[in-house]
Structure 1
Amino acid sequence: MFVNLVFGITQYERSMKMNKFNKLASAGILMAMSANVVMADDEHAGMYAVTITNLTKGQTFTPILAASTKKGSTVYTLGSPASDELEIIAESGNSQPLANKLSSEGNALDTVSSGALLGPGQSVTLNVKMNRQFRHVSIASMLIPTNDAFIATNSIRGPKKKGHSVTVYSAVYDSGTEVNDELCVNMPGPFCGGEGFNEADGEGFVHINIGMHDIGDLASSQFDWRNPAAKIVIKRIK
């Protein structure tokens, strides 16, 4: 009886030790896997130079947001209501709320703003960090003077190899969040100096902007455009 009891205790101790060992081993494997993922991301870490050119005759781009994003992340969806963050960009040119949203939801590795207006025919280059998980590029900017027009890209796949580049173009979109009355009182920026963001509704969905039609304070001969309005070159530099 005593022998059997001792044998049972010994077996129990061995079992407990094995369970503890297995747990430690599993934890070690998980840590190693996590470390490998980080190392893999580090090995694929690099940088894109994103060059945006304003192709319009008379429109100005507000400070442009560029972000390295995950595949499938979106700034806008044609035919669907604009997000609050997109509405703010399209009506006021403020891109910080969208940058915060992309980062907080885990859809962006790096967000950068050009910090200045971009006039007709001008170009600006923004450098954004990238890695294996975040190898796409999204941009957004408002056109001024307009009510709620913007340019944007949704997660454009960047080049894999250093020195290679990808070129895409953006049409002018309308956030559908403000009536296109073309009145300066409702347009921000140096030319009009009017109101930026407000909560009044427009068409209710994102669509292709139809341009200027001389119904308000602005002459279409000066401020109208034809698509595309922006050229975007994504080059891997690191």
Structure 2
Amino acid sequence: MFMLGGVASAGLKRMAEDGMSDVLLTELDPATNEMVCSAEGGEAFTPPGMTLEITIPPDRYCDCISIASMAVGTNDAFVAINSQELSDGDVIYGSGYDAGTE
């Protein structure tokens, strides 16, 4: 989804700044991006006290996961898990990143 130290895509920048995932989901469309098996997104914002659940269908040919979300209260930060290999029972922690839009 991104290269650490690289330039963020237009979709990642928009998600980091505004919380809107539409452009990022277009960039990650499996029909046009052979590196992507599935791309899912939620509403722009999840209200306080509410949760968002997204189900990603398993695919035996896809063994990595990437997840990104806007970090609220910042101008262009986001939290992400990027191309993490999946194994049964793993606990995966995300990190904070700066999209570099300023």
TM-score, structure 1 normalization: 0.37
Residue matched to 1:95? 21
Matching residue's letter, 1:166: D
Residue matched to 1:171? 95
Cα distance change on mapping 1:176 and 1:167 into 2, 3 Å: same
Q: Distance in 2 between matches of 1:134 and 1:148?
A: 29
- Which of the numbers 35, 58, 74 marks the counterpart of 1:146? 74
Residue matched to 1:125? 53
Deviation at 1:123, TM superposition (A): 5.5
Check conservation: 1:138, 1:152, Cα contact below 8 A: yes
Q: Distance in 2 between matches of 1:94 and 1:176?
A: 17
Matching residue's letter, 2:64: H
Q: Which has the larger radius of gyration?
A: 1
Q: Distance in 1 between matches of 2:51 and 2:95?
A: 16
Residue matched to 1:67? none
CA RMSD for the aligned pairs? Answer: 2.1
Within a 5 Å distance, the mapping from 1:37-76 to structure 2 comes to 75-76=1-2
Q: Give structure 1 stretches of 5+ with no counterpart.
A: 1-74, 178-201, 203-238
* Structure number having the greater strand percentage: 1
- Percent identity reads 30
Q: State the Cα deviation string for residues 51-100 of structure 1 (Å, max 9, x = none).
A: xxxxxxxxxxxxxxxxxxxxxxxx22222211111111111111121122
Deviation at 1:130, TM superposition (A): 2.6
* Structure number having the greater helix percentage: 1
Q: Give structure 2 stretches of 5+ with no counterpart.
A: none
Cα distance change on mapping 1:102 and 1:145 into 2, 3 Å: same
Q: Distance in 1 between matches of 2:13 and 2:90?
A: 28
Check conservation: 2:46, 2:52, Cα contact below 8 A: no
Q: Distance in 2 between matches of 1:140 and 1:119?
A: 18
Within a 5 Å distance, the mapping from 1:214-225 to structure 2 comes to none
Residue matched to 1:110? 38
Cα distance change on mapping 1:109 and 1:83 into 2, 3 Å: same
